[in-house]
Copies of this chain bind each other. A is one copy, B any other.
Amino acid sequence: MFAEILTIGDELLTGNTVDSNSAFIAQKLTEKGYWVKRKTTVGDDVEEIKSAVQEVLARKPEVLVISGGLGPTHDDVTMLAVAGALNRKLVLCEGCLERIKAFYRGLYEKGLIDDPELNDARRKMAYLPEGAVPLENTEGAAPGAYIEHGGVRIFVLPGMPREMRAMLEREVLPRLGERKFVQRKLLAEITDESKLAPILNETLKRFKVRIHSSPKGFGKYIGIIIFGESEEEIERAKALMEEMGVRFGEGW
Instruction: List A residues at the B interface (Cβ < 8 Å).
Output: 9-20, 22-28, 30, 35-43, 48, 52, 55, 71-75, 107, 112-115, 119-122, 141, 183, 191-194, 196-197, 200, 212-215, 217-220, 222, 225, 227
Contact = CB atoms under 8 A, between A and B. Distances in A.
B193 A73 contact: yes
Contacts of A28: 15
Contacts of A183: 14
A162 to B, nearest CB: 12
Given A16-B225, A191-B115, A194-B119, A213 B26 contact: no
Nearest to A200: B74
Given A74-B194, A119-B192, A15 B25 contact: yes
A52 B75 CA distance: 27
Nearest to A219: B72
A13 B40 contact: no
Contacts of A225: 11, 14, 16
Given A15-B26, A38-B41, A121-B194, 15 more contacts: A11-B214, A13-B26, A14-B30, A16-B225, A18-B20, A19-B19, A37-B42, A37-B48, A38-B42, A39-B40, A71-B215, A72-B219, A73-B196, A73-B214, A141-B218
